[in-house]
Structure 1
Amino acid sequence: QGGCREFESRRPLQMKKQLLGAAFFMPEDSSQKSSAPKLPDDKIHQQNQPIPLRRSRFI
Structure 2
Amino acid sequence: MMNATCNLDEIACSTALWFWHANNMAGPAQTGNHAATTKIISIIECNGGSEQSRTT
The verdict on a shared fold, with TM-score over 0.5 as the criterion, is: no
Query: Shorter-chain TM-score: which interval?
Result: 0.3 to 0.5
TM-score (norm 2): 0.34
**When you count helix as a share of all residues, which structure comes out higher?**
1
Computing the radius of gyration from Cα coordinates, the structure with the larger value is: 2
Higher relative contact order (CA 8 A, sep 6+): 1
